[in-house]
């Protein structure tokens, strides 16, 4: 498999604090790589390092096969685009003028492809409207459009849907998928909105305390998802007595809600609950999602 980005034992220290701790990760070419971790886990530090805004304390990384300490790493970075934290846009300019400014910064000889880029991100009809009057979603799409100047084939997006309304989230999702599928752009997305990320990612890297806990493809991840029966009862204290006697795996969420992970005989289960005056309000079969998988992984359950 070909990789756009590879890191090996990458570390970043600030005094005694380790922002990155021997982090090793691999971003496959053509993937949408979901970079998952809590705030302060090292995601933004890694992104800033790849962009050349910070330098490793030890270890190294390779971008397009160029090592981080090689001179050619600067050329490699020109093949990537990044929106880190907030999009860098000129609020007093139109979308078109923002893009023209980026052409000048990159020293490009003409504005070839400008209108096509605006159409790609859905901003072709904004005319003379200034960016300060754009919605948050429009500003985010403009930030992505700016990174597309120069035809990058690797895009890094740091929390691209943070703060957006449902419509804005859908627009960014559709744009990311279009860039990946139609433009063949490899995309690394750092996000804490895991439900949305699960609709996009083809691969995942889970980071905790500065190091990668697990890397996995979306297809492999789906095979690991636990299935369960979600039950609502009048009292989970009574429920646990029955489940402990049945020797099944379960998790209690509240005084009335729980998940059962072991296959049970429903009739026998309900009758056992009736004997202890535990009333079943509802039962529903469920499959685990990305969020619960991540929490199990970080909590040290069976996936590591």
Which sequence spans correspond to the domains of the chain? 3-217, 227-287
DSSP 276-290: TTPPEEEEEEEE--H
Query: Which CATH number is correct for 227-287, 3.30.70.100, 3.40.50.300, 3.40.1710.10, 3.50.50.60?
Result: 3.30.70.100
Q: Please state, in angstroms and rounded to a whole number, the distance separating the CA atoms of residues 115 and 171.
A: 19
Check if 3-217 and 227-287 are the same fold. no
Strand 250-252 versus strand 17-28 pairing type? unpaired
Question: What stretches of the chain adopt beta strand conformation (E)?
Answer: 3-14, 17-28, 32-36, 58-63, 66-67, 80-83, 154-158, 186-190, 203-208, 211-217, 227-233, 250-252, 257-260, 280-287
Burial 138-158, CB ≥16 within 10 A → b, else e: bbbbbbbbbbbbbebebbbbb
CB 7 within 8 A of CB 59: yes
Average pLDDT over residues 84-104: 92
Predicted confidence (pLDDT) per residue in 5-35, tens digit: 999 999 999 999 999 999 999 999 999 999 9
- pTM beyond 0.85, yes or no: no
Higher-confidence position of 40 and 9: 9
Q: In this model, does residue 300 exceed pLDDT 70?
A: no
Q: Which residues contact 120 (CB under 8 A, 6 or more apart)?
A: 145, 148, 175, 178, 179, 183
Tokens read off for 210: 């500065």
Would you identify the CATH topology of the domain 3-217?
Rossmann fold (3.40.50)
Reduced to 3 states (helix: H, G, I; strand: E, B; else coil), residue 254 is coil
pLDDT in tens, 207-241: 999 999 999 999 999 888 778 899 999 999 999 99
Average of pLDDT values for 247-270?
A: 91
């Amino acid at each position: 498999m070909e990789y756009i980005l590879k890191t090996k034992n990458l570390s970043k220290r600030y005094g005694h604090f380790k922002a990155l701790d021997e982090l090793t990760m691999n971003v496959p070419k053509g993937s949408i790589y979901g970079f998952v971790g809590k705030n302060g886990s090292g995601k933004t530090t890694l992104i800033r390092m790849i962009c050349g805004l910070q330098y490793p304390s030890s270890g190294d990384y390779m971008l397009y096969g160029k090592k981080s300490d090689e001179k050619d790493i600067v050329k490699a970075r020109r093949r990537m685009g990044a929106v880190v934290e907030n999009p860098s846009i000129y609020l007093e300019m139109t979308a078109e003028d923002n893009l023209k400014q980026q052409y000048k910064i990159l020293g490009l000889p003409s504005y070839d492809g400008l209108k096509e880029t605006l159409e790609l991100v859905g901003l072709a009809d904004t005319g003379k409207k200034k960016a300060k009057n754009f919605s948050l979603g429009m500003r985010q799409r403009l930030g992505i459009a700016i990174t597309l100047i120069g035809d990058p084939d690797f895009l890094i997006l740091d929390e691209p849907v943070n703060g957006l309304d449902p419509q804005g989230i859908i627009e960014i999702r559709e744009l990311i998928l279009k860039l990946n599928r139609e433009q063949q752009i490899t995309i690394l997305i750092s996000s804490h909105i895991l439900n949305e990320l699960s609709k996009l990612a083809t691969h995942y890297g889970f980071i905790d305390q500065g190091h990668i806990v697990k890397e996995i493809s979306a297809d492999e991840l789906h095979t690991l998802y636990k299935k369960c029966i979600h039950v609502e009862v009048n009292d989970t204290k009574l429920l646990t007595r029955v489940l402990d006697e049945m020797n099944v795996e379960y998790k209690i969420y509240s005084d009335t809600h729980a998940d059962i992970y072991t296959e049970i005989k429903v009739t026998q289960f309900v009758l056992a609950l009736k004997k202890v005056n535990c009333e079943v309000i509802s039962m529903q079969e469920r499959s685990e999602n990305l969020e619960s998988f991540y929490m199990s992984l970080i909590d040290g359950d069976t996936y590591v």
